[in-house]
Structure 1
Amino acid sequence: MKKANILILLTISFFVFCFRAQCQEHAYKWGNELELLKRVDKLPTYHTNQYIEQESSYDRTGGNDDGFSGKYSYISKEKEGLVLAEFEGPGVVNRIWTPTPTNDTLLFYFDGEKQPRLKIRFMDLFSGEVYPFIKPICGNEIGGYYSYIPIPFKKSLKIVFQGERIMFHQIQYRKLSGMNVESWTGKFSEGDKKLLSEVAGLWGDISPKVDNYRSGLSDDIQTKEKTFNIKPGEEVTFFDQQTGGRIVGFDIDGGTSFEGRYKDIILSAKWDNEQVDAIHAPIADFFGYAYGQPAMRSMVMGRQGTTNYCYLPMPFDRSASMKLIYKPREEVQQNPMSVKVKVYYNSNKRNVQEEGKLYTVWRRERPEIGEFYTFLQTKGKGHYVGTIHSAQGLRPGMTLFFEGDDSTYVDGKMRLHGTGSEDYYSGGWYALLDRWDRGISMPLHGSLDYSLPMNRTGGYRFFLSDKMPFEEEIYHGMEHGEVNNNFPVDYTSVAFFYADRPLEERMEPTAKLREVYLPTTHVYFPQLMEITLERGVQVILDRGLGITSFGKGAVRVTLTDVPEGRYRVLLNFHEGPKGADFQIWQRQNQLSDWISTKAAADGYREKVHVGDLQLTAQTNSITVHVRDNGDANLFELTLITLERID
């Protein structure tokens, strides 16, 4: 009997040992998550019940204090500092963003431990100076600091800020329910280091190509090429396959044909003879053009040279077809276009249980005041992987519509709430020099354009490890304005997602919706004016463009972005005891007489008409001549407004 008991105990011990060994062997480690930042071939794969959620500094009252005061920038105070987030595990932090990093320390407490395993300066999450937080997986541009280095945790994670004040931030994490996650150790194997180097190399490649993504089910690529001419009113199918497989990517080279005000070439794709097209969008919008010009060059989609590329995998079950449609337009000269297409594909059809099909939703809308703009609202199972967004304001002046926050509801719960539109695109501080002030492309996010005179901007963001899963439904949208969606806008977007069921409807890009909107009033703000100085003046940026004369001098202001035409010129400026005289010219043509800004007390004048001008690509400037008025020699220019004359 004793021998039998000993045998039973040995058997149980053996199975326990084997079970523990198997669990350890199948532990989800840092490298498993890091690999998702290069394995674009895995984008179609479901992350079942792995919900993405976010802790951020957004204003809980619905106002616009999304980090300015710091009131909502932490969830509690402890002896160690301000608690930014407390997450229940298992899970992994996928993305940390801020436009306001500091040199204060962040403490990361794992699994209820009393001591932090990770202790790092807030700034060093993004500086590239502390391993493994290296560039370009971490970095800063267009006003935002970002890190995609994964931080896994088994039971829990608490993040504490050791400083007196923190402002804007977003900390995004993914739940890994039921998985044996290995928490952050801060120790990295040679394999981890090699993988990190590979990810950094891929993200830093500014010439993306399909070979970057030859792995897994996206390997064994064949190429189908087709060169053709297409005329208005024609459709040309460039890919058609009647067996299951997947498109790994495609290139479309149309030269400069897709540029310009009219977006009349439509890209269309269908999988498995579904009733509604999986892709149906103006090709310019699909590839991230901004208001008629190429603007996006991400690691997975965009334009390089004259080639438009997309390397998002597109698996299908039985058939796939892709075509271009050239929509005719009345009273506009439309020329034939020459197009060259390459489609990269293989015979690895979709794994129905584990993968979704790629779908896109194109929209252009002027949402009502008080209503959100919707990127995507759909039912079923899938995950969201990308947004391309052109944002046009319909009220001249500052781009305050981009104060609007993003919101994401998944399966009946708000999972993410952002802190501003440019923040969603990992940027920050629009209308400030060298921040969100122009189009800039990064590996997964970027600004498409920024123009104060045209009152427009735009951004893009793609999701790899942080793709947003849904089991039943998803709503993903954006506010427009500081509060209550109070700014009139004209928004265009393409939403990218994988799903288990086809689209039920689509918006048709009508002739009006395919035309770039051109405002008729344009406002130039001093912080982004392009100026050239003549001798005799000194310029500083204070409460306006402060021009100090030393006797007499001039400053030329280039009037960028605005379409050619005839305009009224209106100026806003300060008056006061130090006010100088000014006069406006357009090159050698005098627009105004001398105007005095000298006054006994400080004052402010708005929209003073100083003349009319004809604006062309060669005459797109005005010159401000300034002269002393006795001992007064300061002209403070705050706004230049152009009003189009029909």
Structure 2
Amino acid sequence: MDSKKENLNKNISYTSLVNRLTDLKSLATLPGKGEKSEMWSSYDRKSKVDSVTGEFIEWSANNDGLRPQFIRKEGNNEVLAEMTGPGAIVRIWSASPKDGKVNIYIDGSDIPIVSEAFIDYFKPSIPAFNFPELVYETNAKGFNNYVPITYQKSCKIVAEPGWGQYFHFNYITFNKEALVESFNPNLNESAKSALTMVNTFFAEEMGKNPSALELETVTKDFNLKTNSKTTAFKLKGKGAIASLKAKIKVINPEKLDEVLRKTILEISWDGEDTPSVWSPIGDFFGSAPGYNNYKTLPMGMTDGWMYSYWYMPYLEGAEITLHNSSSETTAVSLEIGKEELKDDDKNYGRFHAKWHRDLEPIKKERWPDWLLLKTEGKGRFLGASLSLWNPKGGSNSNAGEGHYWWGEGDEKFFIDGENFPSTFGTGTEDYFGYAWCNPSIFEQAFHSQSIDNGNMGYQSVNRWQIIDNIPFQKSFDGYLEKYFANDWPTQYATVVYWYLDADGKDPIKPTPADELFGYEIPYKVFKQPNALEAENLMVIENSGGWLNTDEFVHESMYKTVSGHKILFWTAEKNKKNKLITEFETEKTGKYEVYATIIKQADGGVFKVKINNQNIKNINCKSSDDSKYTERIKLGTVNLVAGKQQIEFNVLKDDKFPQRMWIDYFEFVEL
């Protein structure tokens, strides 16, 4: 599925652009003049940079999607994006698409080329979107569409009332002389075939090399003693590594996490003094800590091998080194797939992958930016693997505007010294393709989440920018907003991936061995033994208002609120206001039921039924402005092993909204 290199002054067919969805080889070619990759999004427009002084104004603003999230209004409609061609939309994302139409106009036409309810952009609503591996909602609630929408002269995206909330439109721009085949939602046979091939590969062959290359495969086995370093491969001449796989065995399985973090993979190209690839081997392959199975297009971990299919060319040789700084003797198998370079193309970039925890500190006025990558030269940014430690979960005060959880922070990518970032996102989880703080495991071709600890503990996420890679001519400065400080503790570790010309500057230095593993600041979360956590109840019906089962309490209540989370429900006026939940019990018997709730000034009073049996009401209203937990006895119930229901109804009251906070239930057998 490898597409040929194209002269940007010639025709770019729709089929050739679709092929870029799986074409990892072409990424190694340094960008030509006029190539760009940018994004329109619903970021908070209060964030600005003064064009004269360079002052960062309200740089931490976080009401993404709530303040005006459009360029301008045309009547009742909102203009969400405007682009000048030739180019293509290559990624559409949303957290909350609704039924209002979104219209895409191309090349100056008054008739939209696509006019669908925004929610239908993520369904097989038109023939071009009938590819479920490219158009989908992830397990973690993010809506994504990777079907390219091309245009020659221009593109304008206009939303009608009721379209929803939150959006990304990633788009690429070609050399101004390029001739691009414009998008047609009624696919011709060539376009349909190309999209079908990509969709089938993602559905049935994920984990295999997408490039149809003739590779020479070499496998070597190594037994690395502690604190040893060995040259695994020393390649001479000109060529490319198009497949790199690794397998690790340890005598003591309990030491695997340490070994994966403290076995370092280094790769140097063309005799360079400093390696372009420096990373703990587990992190390099896209998931940490530990070994967590997942499959994406360029990277993955399977029951057999960890794999990488990034294309890594070299003109004067390459050297791959393994360094075991762990306390364990480690067996490592490395397999490389080499391709001969038959041309004298000097326009290849060097593949870079660097691990770090924290780079240079950011000036106070730029808080909460956290530096992901800062590099100079010509190249392409390919994405990142992010591993984080966040044992407390979230809060509703400590992080200022970035409250509730770690992932509030936007991505901000400055290209070639631009004053304001041409990529400005709406949340860290949104960059990684999911939404609503959802920690569920998922894997798609271009992104994944391979660890689920309910946003309390470790998380591991990837985003690979393939067709939406970000070319730069002079520099790339990339940041993620990080609202929670290291000592919260919220601690990041990342591998960033990019191509860079031979004269470019890569300032990321190796991390000392004693700072690679075990650096996490410990924190023990209070958990009530044998409790039924309310946030874990299965929601069967909600005819009331806002429901959140991932609500973090104020940190002042961490010692008394189990798991730091609660079930939060807001009953609203003129609604039925019924909430039905479900749980399972293993043992038939008679039980006394207790509930631990949060009392606040704006709390309400709610009827409670268990299996249609009325028990004591829950009163969440405090007598003053204080917030505190209270354990109450609800009554006695008989349960038969299996599924049980808890139903909540608001008592009649003219005052709305009414709010309910429940921490956990206890069922004490009599």
* Segment of structure 1 superposing worse, 252-261 or 239-248: 252-261
Find the aligned partners of 2:225 and 2:24 in 1 and give their Cα distance: 35
Find the aligned partners of 1:350 and 1:363 in 2 and give their Cα distance: 35
Alignment of 1:32-47 (within 5 A): 32-47=16-31
Deviation (angstroms), 1:195:
1.1
Find the aligned partners of 2:316 and 2:388 in 1 and give their Cα distance: 38
Find the aligned partners of 1:350 and 1:385 in 2 and give their Cα distance: 24
1:121 paired with 2:117, answer yes
Name the larger-Rg structure.
1
Find the aligned partners of 2:315 and 2:340 in 1 and give their Cα distance: 10
Distance change (3 Å), C-alpha of 1:136 and 1:238: same
- The letter for the 1-side match of 2:44 is D
Residue-by-residue CA offset, 1:96-145 (whole Å, 9 max, x unaligned): 10011112222111111222222223222211342111210111111111
Deviation (angstroms), 1:225:
0.8
**SS at 2:204's partner residue?**
coil
Aligned residues: 550
1:223 maps to which of 217, 220, 228: 217
TM-score by length of 1: 0.76
1:249 paired with 2:248, answer no
Distance change (3 Å), C-alpha of 1:439 and 1:509: farther
2:306 maps to which of 305, 308, 317: 308
Find the aligned partners of 2:306 and 2:35 in 1 and give their Cα distance: 33
Q: Please tell me whether the aligned partners of residues 361 and 376 of structure 1 are also in contact (alpha carbons under 8 angstroms).
A: no
Aligned to 1:495: 496
Q: Please tell me whether the aligned partners of residues 396 and 522 of structure 1 are also in contact (alpha carbons under 8 angstroms).
A: no
Q: Please tell me whether the aligned partners of residues 300 and 308 of structure 2 are also in contact (alpha carbons under 8 angstroms).
A: yes
Q: Please tell me whether the aligned partners of residues 394 and 490 of structure 1 are also in contact (alpha carbons under 8 angstroms).
A: no
Aligned to 2:424: 417
* Segment of structure 1 superposing worse, 290-299 or 49-58: 290-299
Residue-by-residue CA offset, 1:462-517 (whole Å, 9 max, x unaligned): 011110000000101100128x9997631100000011025355132432332262
1:404 paired with 2:404, answer no
Distance change (3 Å), C-alpha of 1:253 and 1:54: same
Find the aligned partners of 1:464 and 1:50 in 2 and give their Cα distance: 14
- The letter for the 2-side match of 1:188 is L
2:40 maps to which of 47, 52, 55: 55
Distance change (3 Å), C-alpha of 1:556 and 1:418: farther
Deviation (angstroms), 1:243:
1.2
* Segment of structure 1 superposing worse, 264-273 or 396-405: 396-405
- The letter for the 2-side match of 1:403 is E
Deviation (angstroms), 1:197:
1.0
Find the aligned partners of 1:554 and 1:507 in 2 and give their Cα distance: 58
**SS at 1:260's partner residue?**
helix
- The letter for the 2-side match of 1:60 is R
* Segment of structure 1 superposing worse, 88-97 or 421-430: 88-97
2:135 maps to which of 123, 138, 152: 138
Residue-by-residue CA offset, 1:545-597 (whole Å, 9 max, x unaligned): 9999999637899xxxxxxxxxxxxx7644998899xxxxxxxxxxxxxxx99
Q: Please tell me whether the aligned partners of residues 97 and 145 of structure 1 are also in contact (alpha carbons under 8 angstroms).
A: yes
**SS at 1:259's partner residue?**
helix
Q: Please tell me whether the aligned partners of residues 259 and 284 of structure 1 are also in contact (alpha carbons under 8 angstroms).
A: no
- The letter for the 1-side match of 2:329 is P
Q: Please tell me whether the aligned partners of residues 128 and 186 of structure 2 are also in contact (alpha carbons under 8 angstroms).
A: no
Aligned to 1:459: 461
Distance change (3 Å), C-alpha of 1:25 and 1:422: closer
Q: Please tell me whether the aligned partners of residues 480 and 486 of structure 1 are also in contact (alpha carbons under 8 angstroms).
A: no
1:360 maps to which of 349, 353, 357: 353
Residue-by-residue CA offset, 1:270-309 (whole Å, 9 max, x unaligned): 1112111111111121112233242542121020113110
Q: Please tell me whether the aligned partners of residues 206 and 296 of structure 2 are also in contact (alpha carbons under 8 angstroms).
A: no
Find the aligned partners of 2:46 and 2:345 in 1 and give their Cα distance: 43
**SS at 2:518's partner residue?**
coil
2:90 maps to which of 88, 94, 100: 94
Find the aligned partners of 2:526 and 2:169 in 1 and give their Cα distance: 36
Find the aligned partners of 2:500 and 2:341 in 1 and give their Cα distance: 18
Find the aligned partners of 1:396 and 1:140 in 2 and give their Cα distance: 25
**SS at 2:257's partner residue?**
coil
**SS at 1:451's partner residue?**
coil
Aligned to 1:476: 478
Q: Please tell me whether the aligned partners of residues 534 and 663 of structure 2 are also in contact (alpha carbons under 8 angstroms).
A: no
Aligned to 1:273: 271
Residue-by-residue CA offset, 1:240-296 (whole Å, 9 max, x unaligned): 211110000111111476832562111111111211111111112111223324254
* Segment of structure 1 superposing worse, 313-322 or 281-290: 281-290
Find the aligned partners of 1:227 and 1:519 in 2 and give their Cα distance: 36
Q: Please tell me whether the aligned partners of residues 301 and 307 of structure 2 are also in contact (alpha carbons under 8 angstroms).
A: yes
Q: Please tell me whether the aligned partners of residues 392 and 523 of structure 2 are also in contact (alpha carbons under 8 angstroms).
A: no
Distance change (3 Å), C-alpha of 1:454 and 1:164: closer
Deviation (angstroms), 1:45:
1.7
Find the aligned partners of 2:487 and 2:335 in 1 and give their Cα distance: 44
Find the aligned partners of 1:397 and 1:498 in 2 and give their Cα distance: 35
Distance change (3 Å), C-alpha of 1:240 and 1:606: farther
**SS at 1:209's partner residue?**
coil
Distance change (3 Å), C-alpha of 1:162 and 1:234: same
Aligned to 2:445: 443
Aligned to 1:166: 164
TM-score by length of 2: 0.73
Deviation (angstroms), 1:449:
2.5
Q: Please tell me whether the aligned partners of residues 489 and 521 of structure 2 are also in contact (alpha carbons under 8 angstroms).
A: no
Deviation (angstroms), 1:602:
3.9
Aligned to 2:341: 348
Alignment of 1:308-347 (within 5 A): 308-328=306-326, 334-347=327-340
Q: Please tell me whether the aligned partners of residues 245 and 315 of structure 1 are also in contact (alpha carbons under 8 angstroms).
A: yes
Deviation (angstroms), 1:73:
2.2
Distance change (3 Å), C-alpha of 1:185 and 1:520: closer
Find the aligned partners of 2:521 and 2:8 in 1 and give their Cα distance: 61
Find the aligned partners of 1:357 and 1:213 in 2 and give their Cα distance: 19
1:553 paired with 2:549, answer no
**SS at 2:16's partner residue?**
helix
Find the aligned partners of 1:277 and 1:350 in 2 and give their Cα distance: 25
Aligned to 1:13: none
**SS at 1:74's partner residue?**
coil
Find the aligned partners of 1:255 and 1:401 in 2 and give their Cα distance: 33
Find the aligned partners of 1:33 and 1:275 in 2 and give their Cα distance: 37
Aligned to 2:207: 208
Find the aligned partners of 1:302 and 1:487 in 2 and give their Cα distance: 31
Deviation (angstroms), 1:170:
0.6
- The letter for the 1-side match of 2:422 is R
Q: Please tell me whether the aligned partners of residues 387 and 495 of structure 1 are also in contact (alpha carbons under 8 angstroms).
A: yes
**SS at 1:33's partner residue?**
helix
Find the aligned partners of 1:407 and 1:466 in 2 and give their Cα distance: 15
Q: Please tell me whether the aligned partners of residues 282 and 514 of structure 1 are also in contact (alpha carbons under 8 angstroms).
A: no
Q: Please tell me whether the aligned partners of residues 136 and 203 of structure 1 are also in contact (alpha carbons under 8 angstroms).
A: yes
Q: Please tell me whether the aligned partners of residues 36 and 465 of structure 1 are also in contact (alpha carbons under 8 angstroms).
A: yes
Q: Please tell me whether the aligned partners of residues 453 and 523 of structure 1 are also in contact (alpha carbons under 8 angstroms).
A: no
**SS at 1:318's partner residue?**
coil
Specify every segment of 5 or more residues in structure 2 that has no aligned partner in the other structure, as ranges: 1-6, 48-60, 396-403, 539-548, 550-565, 571-578, 609-615, 638-646, 649-659, 665-670
Aligned to 2:191: 192
**SS at 2:96's partner residue?**
coil
- The letter for the 1-side match of 2:389 is Q
Find the aligned partners of 1:600 and 1:36 in 2 and give their Cα distance: 55
Deviation (angstroms), 1:31:
1.4
Find the aligned partners of 1:343 and 1:115 in 2 and give their Cα distance: 51
Aligned to 1:382: 379
Find the aligned partners of 2:95 and 2:198 in 1 and give their Cα distance: 24
